[in-house]
Structure 1
Amino acid sequence: QPILLSPHTQGLSFNGVARPGADLASGLTYSSDREGSIALYFGAKTMSTEGKKIMWEGSSMNDHVRWDKDGKFIVFTSTRMPSNRSMVSWSSVWQSEYRDGEFSPPQRVTPDGMSGE
């Protein structure tokens, strides 16, 4: 299960076995565990972009993170690392809420139609 870290450690890691990822212009970073699962890290820049979609630049893995108007975000994790522009199949969808400077514990939600082609 994901390990929720404080905003000061920037985010959410998958399985806690993460390799360093790439810093993106949006403030997101990503990493993978030994099995190739994707983890997203949330930088300070992304925490203030409620209501906007964050794009995973450089691949077709877009819309990983969405904010609704209440400030909740949903994290989609994939079963494997992206290869060029190939699509991925989603294995898990986790939802957490950022409120009063803290994240709520992530809860798994149904991955409704979240498979890649």
Structure 2
Amino acid sequence: MGETRRVVGIKGNRQVLFDIAEVIVAEAVGRAVWLRTDLGRFRCATDGIDKIDDKYASCGFVRVHRSYLVNLNRVREVTRKDGGELELTVANYGWVVPVSRRRAKFVTEALGL
């Protein structure tokens, strides 16, 4: 059947279908997952960031923190912080996403740095 490239975002009574490439960041807040897209912030129809991670890892998403998945194609800037932590700034919006120390090496390698 092939790889799933769509994800459903919910806002109010609307269900919006996104190609996974349109999603910039997925953020876990409890069991809920919030998608940041070019059209704004939507609650993901699928609960649990682990499910999203498993489903979309092959589409360019990387788990950078226990609460965040980032579309590496949308990363604009990497900032090194004291203590080995990193921050990623995503293109067009200036959103800053933390990278855990444990995942920093993997993320920099995935970005080709």
- Greater share of helix residues, 1 or 2? 2
In terms of fraction of residues, the more strand-rich structure is 2
- Which of 1 and 2 has greater Rg? 2
